[in-house]
Amino acid sequence: MPHRRLAALMTASALATSCAPSSPESDGPALVPVPASLRVTEGSFTLASDARIGVRSAEGAPVAEELARLLRRSTGYALPVVREPAEITLEISGDQELGREGYTLDVTPDGVRLAAGTAEGVFRGVQTLRQLLPAAIESPAPQPGPWTIGGVSIEDRPRFSYRGVMLDVARHFFTVEQVKRYIDLAASYKVNVLHLHLTDDQGWRIEIRSWPELAGDDSYTQDDYREIVRYAAERFVTVVPEIDTPGHTNAALAAYAELNCDGVAREPYEGTEVGFSSLCVDKEVTYRFLDDVVREVAALTPGPYLNLGGDEAHSTDPEDYEKFVARAQQIVDTHGKRLMGWAEITSGSVAQHWNPREPDRARAAVARGAKLVMSPADHAYLDMKYTDSTEYGLDWAGLVEVSDSYGWDPATVVEGVGEQDILGVEAPLWTETLATSGALEFMAYPRLPGIAEIGWSPAAARSWEGYRARLAAHGPRWSARSVTFYRSPEIPWN
Ligand code: TNX
């Protein structure tokens, strides 16, 4: 059982402070992630029924249209997009002073001005603008308003370039529409990577044309997958596909007998044990298979990374594991991608720290020149139960209440690993116990926004007391979007 992994880890929630009386930040808007710098200014702006959205550059037009679409639904206003300065102006300056994702946002009685070097930066700023408006702005149908925003001057940019969420579509399958909704919600919190765990012992969820038996009924065709990638890209979210190897491969070993060392196909598996399957490291067919899979998946992947898992290969001899990873690395190189994997992989471009009991692996990966994505399970795993009475989830890494999930910093969580070693953070959601969008959302909200803030906001701008007060204001936003969320008693919900 998963509990094996972490029998002795102290329950994270045991360290949580109980709900001290809050001192809500009464002078600022309830933004998550909290911006790098924010100044409250005089006056306010009210969106009127004849307001327009102005954007000069063609590059910014799709973001302006997306903003208009969103605001039209709840305001009922026409909100035409025009090619000149207007009440809401989006501006792409082309100057990179605030980096690819940075932006400035100024709200004065005359209007809203959102400026960035790139369309991506404007898109991130639009997420801030949404949160400055009343929660009813998220409603799918017209609401009365008024649509007033207090004066503010924001300058913002991310701390880390990789702010991911992972969805396990192997243990339970989720449709393209369900994945789109997950992307949409996460993108509101400036998440910019969707890591899809596409294969595992229980299922292979992506069509591979050269190995047609891999994917069963519940899986994505290559066109489905392209649609996910396109939808994510529209939100400036990069998809990182994961094909887990050499362990977690029972589904492949069941589909193709020749991939097994003994040449005998495995039985399909629906349980939740891990560590019992392995590709056959000494057979050449294994690398033909891997090369075909990587070639096809790389062709569907505009992003730089291809993830080959590498976790919990308990049935692969350690020497074989090293041999396998070296070949896998070559194959990924050949197809023009950068290898990413869980911390066990230690080589590759990026290794993902997940097991709080194995900080050595994270340090080893850094020593071998890899960058780290930080997903410590006792903080960042969205599949851990909040309390022992949480309906879904696992508890091998402890119980993870909202304060546990928020209360860590990427640069101090593993001794010897610092800011310069870290590419970013990721919140994985494993789905052994989760079969519906409602269940996914219940586990992700409210913890996902906290991990997104840890990845975006400067450490000095964050505090638990400030965060819990800001987070409270997001409950009505989720309700307006029909998001199922956990009403944690730690949060003073509005
Ligand atoms: C560990 S995290 C796993 C997954 C499980 C997860 C459940 C990791 C690299 N492997 O196989 O689904 O725990 O929390």
pLDDT tens-digit series, residues 102-124: 999 999 999 999 999 999 999 99
Q: Which residues pair with 374 in a beta bridge?
A: 353, 425
Report, as residue numbers or ranges, the catalytic residues.
312
Q: Taken in order 434, 436, 439, 442, is the CA torsion positive or negative?
A: positive
Q: Express each pLDDT in 221-232 by its tens digit.
A: 999 999 999 999
pLDDT of residue 494: 83
Q: 242 pairs with which residues across the strands? A: 197, 307
- Expressed in angstroms and rounded, the spacing between residue 133 Cα and the centre of ligand 1 is 38
Going by alpha carbons, the residue nearest to atom 2 of ligand 1 is 354
Residue with tokens 């710098």: 37
Identify each DSSP E strand in 109-201 by its residue range: 111-116, 147-156, 162-168, 193-197, 199-200
Best residue among 430, 431, 432 to mutate for probing ligand 1's pocket (most ligand atoms within 8 Å of CB) is: 430
Q: What is the whole-number distance in angstroms between the Cα of residue 430 and the centre of ligand 1?
A: 7
Residues in contact with 282: Cβ distance below 8 Å, sequence separation at least 6, in sequence order:
261, 320
Residues 292-321: tens digit of each pLDDT: 999 999 999 999 999 999 999 999 999 999
Helices 222-234, 176-187: inter-axial angle, 10-degree rounding: 20
Q: Taking each helix axis from N to C terminus, what angle separates 447-456 and 437-444, rounded to the nearest 10 degrees?
A: 50
pLDDT at residue number 21: 32
**Centroid of ligand 1 to alpha carbon of 296 (angstroms):** 25
Q: Model confidence at 471, in pLDDT bands (50, 70, 90)?
A: very high
Say if residue 10's pLDDT is above 70: no
Q: Which atom of ligand 1 is nearest to the CA of 381?
A: 14
Distance between CA atoms of 250 and 165, rounded to whole angstroms?
A: 25
Pocket test for ligand 1, best of 169, 270, 312 (most atoms within 8 A of CB): 312
Contact criterion met (CB below 8 Å) for 274 and 312: yes
Question: Which residue is closest in CA terms to ligand 1's atom 8?
Answer: 311
Q: What are phi and psi of 465, to 5 degrees?
A: -65, -45
Q: Counting atoms of ligand 1 from 1, which one is nearest the CA of 344? A: 9
Within 6 A (CB) of ligand 1 lie 2, 274, 311-312, 342, 354, 381, 383, 394, 430, 432
Which residue's C-alpha comes closest to atom 11 of ligand 1? 274
Cα distance between residue 23 and residue 9, in whole Å: 32
Tell me the percentage of the chain whose pLDDT exceeds 90.
92
Q: Which atom of ligand 1 is nearest to the CA of 171?
A: 12
Structural contact between residues 253 and 268, judged by C-beta atoms closer than 8 angstroms = no
Q: Which residue's CA lies nearest to atom 6 of ligand 1?
A: 430
Amino acid at 429: L
Q: Are 455 and 158 in contact (CB under 8 A)?
A: yes
Query: d(Cα 91, Cα 70) in Å, to the nearest integer?
Result: 19
pTM metric for this prediction: 0.94
Which atom number of ligand 1 is nearest to the Cα of residue 272?
12
Residue 84: closest CA among 60, 55, 59, 105: 55
Ligand 1 centre and the CA of 355: distance in Å?
A: 9
pLDDT above 50 for 2: no
Q: H or E segment at 306?
A: strand 305-309
Quick one: average pLDDT of 62-84?
98
The closest-lying atom of ligand 1 relative to the alpha carbon of residue 384 is 14
Residue nearest to atom 9 of ligand 1 (CA): 311
pLDDT at 73 over 50: yes
- pLDDT greater than 60 at residue 166: yes
Residue-wise pLDDT tens digits, 253-268: 999 999 999 999 999 9
C-alpha 222 to ligand 1 mean position (Å): 26
Q: Which helix (H) or strand (E) holds 352?
A: strand 350-353
How far is ligand 1, taken at its centre, from the CA of residue 393, in Å?
12
pLDDT of residue 27: 59
Contact present, 277 and 266 (Cβ < 8 Å): yes
Q: Are 242 and 197 in contact (CB under 8 A)?
A: yes
CB 345 within 8 A of CB 365: yes
**Which stretches does DSSP call E strand in 18-161?**
37-47, 53-55, 81-82, 88-92, 103-108, 111-116, 147-156
Pick from 171, 196, 311, 405 the residue to mutate for probing ligand 1's pocket: most ligand atoms within 8 Å of its CB.
Answer: 311
pLDDT at 482 over 70: yes
Q: For residue 336, how far is its CA from the centre of ligand 1 (angstroms)?
A: 28
Residue closest by Cα to atom 10 of ligand 1: 311
State which ligand 1 atom lies nearest to the alpha carbon of 430: 12
Q: Tokens representing 157?
A: 């940019």
Q: Is the pLDDT of residue 419 over 50?
A: yes
Rounded distance from Cα 311 to ligand 1 centre (Å): 8
**21: which DSSP letter?**
P
How far apart CA 270 and CA 216 sit, in angstroms, is 14
Ligand 1 centroid to residue 62 C-alpha, Å = 38
CA-based diameter of the chain, in Å? 75
Among 274, 276, 315, 379, residue to substitute to test ligand 1 (most atoms within 8 Å of Cβ): 274
Name which residue sits closest to atom 13 of ligand 1, judged by CA: 2
- Give the span between the Cα atoms of 134 and 411, in whole angstroms: 35
